[in-house]
Every structure is written in C-alpha cells, then in structure tokens.
A and B are shown apart, each in its own frame.
Chain A
Amino acid sequence: MGMDRRTFLKGLGTGIAVAAPGSSLLPSRAEAKEVVASKEFMGVLVDTTRCVGCRTCESACAEAHAMPAPDMSDAAMDKIRPTSVTQWTLVNRFKTDKGEVFVKKQCMHCNQPGCVAACLVKAMEKKENGAVTWDTNCMGCRYCMVSCPFDIPKFEYDSAFPKIQKCSLCWERLVKGEKPSCVEACPADALTFGTRREMIEEANRRIYKESGKYISHIYGEREVGGTGYLYISAVPFEKIGFRTDLGTTSYPEYSKGFLYSVPIVLLLWPAFLIGVNTITKRKHEVQNSEGGKR
C-alpha cells in the first residue's frame, strides 16, 4: 500500500514538475540538500572477535554519565541482559561452536531511527553527527519504546519525574572532538570510532584480509536502513543475540504510507461530505414538498 501511494505521489510530483514552466516555483528537494549541508554520520565498529569481555566499556559508560557502577562479577554475565535505566551499554556472553563470544549492546544509532519518527515533541533527536539523543521536553508516552526495533529506550517507571534512558553516543563528547567514552576505554581495540563510511570500509577490509575469520556480513550496514553501530563476527549473528529478521527498510518508512494519506483524506473527504450533504438537501426538499401536496 505504502509503496503504491509513494509511487503515485512521486508520479504526481514529476507531473507537476514537468508542467511547471519555471522550476523556481517548486521547493528544492530537501533530502538532496541535507546530504551536502550536514556532516557525515559518525559510527562505531564493534569487532566481536576482538572483544575479551573485560567490560571496561560498561564502567567507563557509567562513570561518564554519572550512573551507579555496574555489577562487575562474572556471575552477572551468566544470563543475557538487556540494557537498563542505569546501564546504557553492557557486554553479553554467548557460547558458540567457535567458543565464547562477547557482544557489546547499546543503542544502534539508526540512520533513520524509529524512535525519532515516533516522538511527537522531538525529544528524541538524530543529531548532525549521527547520535540519537533524548531531551527533557519528553512527555513520557513511551511510543519510542514501542517503535524501536532493538528495544533500546528504557523508562524510569519508579520515578515520579521519569526520564528515558539510552546511550547517547556520548554526543556531548563528540561535539568537543572526543571519542565516545566506551570506545576510548576499550583495551582490546574491539571498538573503532570514525565516520560511518570509514567504519564500513574498515569492516570490509578486515573481512577480506583475514579470509575465513569473519562471516561476510556487516550487521548494521543495511539492517533497518543502516545503523551507526556496526558489527562484524566470526559466527552468524542470530547465534549471538541479534535479530536478523528486521529487514533493510528503515522503520519510519512503515508509517509513511499512513502519513501520506493524511492530507489527501483531509482534502477529499470534507469535499465529498459537503457534496453529499448538498445533494441530500435537495432530495429532502423535494420529498418534503411532495409530502405536503399529498
């Protein structure tokens, strides 16, 4: 449905563009402009073959964002943990045929985030540098949580003044030209920070160079339209806690079909209703006058 409507609208747009004698009358294509004006999105490459599960990133994150120090005991890793309101990032341990694999988990910083499209007050924002951040003008409706394919935003249910808690890619550090605190803390060089484009190049380089070590898939290159965090692995991603059924369409696309129909319905529906109302009025009058004659 969405595709059809989009194609239709595009066709309509093209028609108008062709018909209009001067293109100056038409608004310039916003998307095309943004690409030139904005900076490149930054990203982090996670090499799961290098991660040793020391969890230094966890404590560095907690320290950088004034959150309680995480439980660093080995027992904490016995079960697969989700991120929480006091832990924006954490490392999970998976037992695979290629031994133990450690996987860092945090916000994926989607190129086109579902949470940002969901937010009705723009409290969730995709910053110019690619970080997806939360702000205090939030209403606490939790629609971002429903719309996140990775279930990352966490809500402080136990507070009367609750906040949404999630990884911000250390946005405030990025602005100052620093790396995210987890990347800086990693002693095993499992995390690499740079522009998203560079990270994809680096991932491809590693996959080609060390033939057979990695499976040939960069998780996040195309998933849900591309994510800022990118993962490479020696084992299939579904075996280390990743959802591989999310598709490559960005999440905001799914509600676009409906949103495109809004102006059409708002224009055509009242026109139709007023038309019917006028027709029935005439009929009503005729009926009434006929009834009067009888």
Chain B
Amino acid sequence: MNTGIPAEEKRNFKDIVAFILSEMKPTGKLITPFNVISAPLIILGAFLIVYRLVKGMGAVTNLSQEFPWGIWIGFDVMVGVAFAGGAYVLTFVVYILRSDKYHSIIRATVLNGLLAYIFYAGAIFLDLGRWWNITNPLFGNKFGANSVLFLIAWHFLLYMLAEFVEFSPAIAEWLGLRKLRKILGSLTVGAVVVGIALSTLHQAGLGALFMMAKGKVHPLWYTEFIPVLFFVSSIFAGLSMVIFEGTISHKVFSDQISHEDHKSYDDMLIGLSQGCAVSMFVYFFAQFLIFIHGWHWSLLNTPMGYWYLTEMVGLVGIPCFMFFQGARYRNLLLIRTAAILAMIGIIINRLNISIIAFKWWIPFSERYFPSWMEIVITLAIILTEIWVFRWIATRMPVFGKPPAWAEETH
C-alpha cells in the first residue's frame, strides 16, 4: 500500500513536483488483458473525437433531425450521472447520519462519482455542436436562467467542485501535506451538504429535461413526475453501482484492503442491498400509482406496452424482490445479481425516455441507432475513466487506510 511521502509541516514546491513526477510511472504490469483490450480502444476513440471535431457531428454520429439526442446524452450523461448517485447517497449516510459502517468505501465511491461527472458529464462537450461556446452559460452575457439545462450545467460544475473538496483530503495525504489536509478535512461536511442538495436537483433535473418533450415521449413513460422518478431511481442506481463496482475493486485492489474491512464488507453489502430494496420499492410503487392515474390500460396490450412491462416488472420489480431476499438470507450472489439487473433497468429506463420511447411512432428503419463510432467513443470514455481511477486508487489512500498522521485529525 502506498501512502505517499512522509508528512512534514512544510514541504517546498519543488519536492512536491518531483514526487508527483515520480508517481507518474506505472506501478503494475503493463501487459494485462484489460490493458491490451482497452489501450487500442482509447487510442481509436481519441482519433474519432478529433475526427468529430474537425468534420462535424454528422461524420461520426447517426443523429438526425428527428432524433437530436443519441447515446452520448441518453447513455453517457443520463445513465452515467444516475450511476454516480452512489456518492451523494453514501455521503449522506456517512457524514450526515454518521453511520461508520460504510466509512471504508466512502472514498472510492466519492472518487467514482467525481470521475463519472468529469468523464460522462464531460461527454456533453462532444455532443455540443458549437462546443467553443461551452462557457456561455457560465460567463456569457445572456443567461437562460429559466432553462432546465441551465440549472443542470451549473449544478454539474458546482457538484464536481463539491466532490473534489470531499475527495481532496486523500490528495493531501498522498502529497504528505499535513496542514492542507486539516483545512480540507474541515470542509468535508459543508461540501457534503451542498453536494446532496445539488444532486437532488440535477438528478431530478435530467428527467425534467423531457418535460417539454410532451407528445414525443410515449405516454407510458411521459408523466409530470419524471423528475421525481429520476431522483428516486438515482438512489438505487447509485447504490447498485457501488455494489457492482465494489465487487470488482475488492478483487483488483484486494492487497490494499485491511483484514477487518474485508470482513465488514459482507455486512456493508447487506446494508446497501436493504437501501436498494426500499428505494426500489418506493420507485416501483410510484410508477404503479402513476400508471393507475394515467389510465393507460389499453396501451399495455401494444408492443410498447410489453416493453414497458419488461422494464417495470423484470428490471424493477424482480430485482427489488431479489434485494429484499438477498438482505434477508444474507445471499451475496443474489444481491450482486440484483444489482446488475437494477443497473440494466436504469440503462433501459434512461434510454427509453431519451431514445427508444422517444417518437415511438417512427418506423424502425428510420429510427436512431448509434453508429459504431459513437459506441467506440463512449467505450473509450468509460475505459479512460477506469484507467484514471486505477491510477489514483493505486497511489492515494482510497481503499486502504489513510496514513497514521492523518487519522488523528478525523
């Protein structure tokens, strides 16, 4: 476990730069199956991004006048941000409710959330046709303050800052900056409070984007409660991601995790599973009420109706039940399967609202389907995020314990 350089009260700037440079070198084996597959995809993705910027969006995407938003919004942003919801839920549990149980995974979750926002929300940049104007909502002289997207733009930016502040003590520990660590640590609760408020609104806000697509989103999915549904579903989307990601990183970063953390991990999974089960039940019940009030019985017996039932029963109801059972009988395999099903459910739900149930009357042959280039760029973004995550997790105290000098400042 690497806990950085020994802490000192004063470090000169030169030392820090030299240390960071020395940390740039790879630590593990370079030739691994993951690296061999991901590196070429990332390089190809980078070329395609340049191609897209030079040639315009039409050269790489299958977007059309009928389908202005594709997977870069519907998947990268909508799904990526929902999956990043684990950070605000867990910071609420750890810093507001002060449940120590989840303390050992909080840094990994916050780091994941921060990187998800940087990379997936950053994918908006590629989707902006006139990307050179990206700072206009921030520094322009014309603010569209009554646009839902304006709110989301600001919230993304502010939330990234809040998450950076939440994670920053780990950076200070890595660099051995004792004083800075103390200052940054004292900012955490404030950042958490702001972060939760921002998350509530922009998770809901992503759903509110589609409020003005009335008449375009299939009535089984369009409801005035989309913002509420997006918020509630981000809770179990985020927690499912924490379960899924935790399962993988507990294997990959196994050497960094202390013995007692390994033992308490099972208890944690069961707690997360309960959280998922309850929030999914609330979501399922809300969907049910909305369906009953919407009076859409006749729509169920259509192809879109079957698709709707697949999502609601197969990818919400069933995983919800599995989470309940998994927590009750301490069945970790059941919990992990439920997490994967719930995540698929979130992917399907966000894609339904933004792409699949969007203008559902348009025949299959004229519908939007992502081009291979859109998919490669999306994969490249995800893989780059994993590389960066791995780089940070192997160097800073993310999974492992903070250095001894930092413990007392808690």
Interface, chain A (partner B; CB < 8 A): 1-2, 82, 84, 114, 117-123, 137-143, 145-147, 149, 151, 154-162, 243, 245-247, 251-252, 254-255, 257-259, 262, 265-266, 269-270, 273-274, 276-277, 280-281, 283-284
Contact = CB atoms under 8 A, between A and B. Distances in A.
Nearest to A257: B224
Contacts of A154: 65
B213 A146 contact: yes
Contact of B193 (A114, A118, A277): A277
A258 B212 CA distance: 11
B65 A258 contact: no
Given A120-B137, A121-B133, A273-B193, A160 B209 contact: no
A16 to B, nearest CB: 22
A118 B214 CA distance: 13
Interface in B207-223: 208-216
Contacts of A121: 133, 136-137, 140, 142-144
Interface residues of B, number: 63
A258 B204 contact: yes
Interface stretch (B105-113, B195-203, B342-350): B195-203
Given A139-B129, A160-B54, A161-B130, 11 more contacts: A119-B147, A138-B133, A140-B128, A156-B56, A159-B58, A255-B208, A258-B148, A258-B205, A269-B197, A273-B96, A273-B196
Given A114-B212, A140-B128, A269-B197, A262 B151 contact: yes
Interface in B84-137: 92, 95-98, 124, 127-131, 133-134, 136-137
A114 B150 CA distance: 14
B319 interface: no
Nearest to B124: A141
B68 interface: yes
A246 B151 CA distance: 26
Contact of B65 (A84, A246, A269): A84
B201 A265 contact: yes
B147 A270 contact: no
Interface in B25-71: 53-59, 61, 63-66, 68-69
Given A121-B142, A258-B205, A277-B193, A162 B65 contact: no
B201 A117 contact: no
A1 B225 contact: yes
A273 B211 CA distance: 29
Contacts of B392: none
For the complex of A and B, list the 10 residue pairs with the smallest distance between their C-beta atoms, beginning with the closest: A140-B129, A157-B58, A140-B130, A147-B212, A120-B150, A122-B142, A142-B68, A258-B208, A145-B68, A158-B58
Q: Which secondary structure characterizes the binding site on chain B? A: helix
A273 B97 CA distance: 9
Contacts of A145: 65, 68
A270 B197 contact: yes
B142 A141 contact: no
A46 B143 CA distance: 35
Contact of A146 (B56, B58, B193, B216): B216
B321 to A, nearest CB: 29
6 contacts: A117-B147, A120-B153, A138-B130, A146-B68, A157-B63, A254-B211
Contacts of B56: 156-162
A120 B145 CA distance: 7
A276 B92 CA distance: 10
B189 interface: yes
A256 B255 CA distance: 51
Given A117-B146, A119-B147, A158-B56, A280 B96 contact: yes
Interface of B: 53-59, 61, 63-66, 68-69, 92, 95-98, 124, 127-131, 133-134, 136-137, 140, 142-144, 146-151, 153, 189, 192-194, 196-197, 200-201, 204-205, 208-216, 224-225, 227-228
B200 A265 contact: yes
B201 A140 contact: no
B65 A82 contact: yes
A124 to B, nearest CB: 8
B130 A273 contact: no
A287 B228 CA distance: 36
Contacts of A158: 56, 58-59
A139 B137 contact: yes
Contacts of B225: 1
Contacts of B68: 142, 145-146, 155
A245 B214 CA distance: 10
Nearest to A274: B193
Contact of A118 (B136, B140, B147): B147
A258 B208 CA distance: 7
Contacts of B153: 120
A80 to B, nearest CB: 13
Nearest to B204: A258
Contacts of A2: 224
B136 A139 contact: yes
Nearest to B63: A157
A121 B54 CA distance: 24
Contacts of B57: 157, 162
A189 B108 CA distance: 69
A122 B144 contact: yes
Contacts of A270: 193-194, 196-197
B201 A119 contact: no
A25 B215 CA distance: 42
Contacts of B204: 258
Nearest to B196: A273
Nearest to B97: A280
A255 B144 CA distance: 14
Contact of A139 (B134, B148, B197): B134
A277 B95 contact: yes
A138 B55 CA distance: 19
Contact of A259 (B53, B61, B137, B151): B151
A179 to B, nearest CB: 28
Contacts of A120: 137, 143-144, 147, 149-150, 153
Contacts of B55: 160
Give the residue among A142, A247, A258, A262 with the most B Cβ atoms within 10 A: A258
Contacts of B149: 118, 120, 141, 143
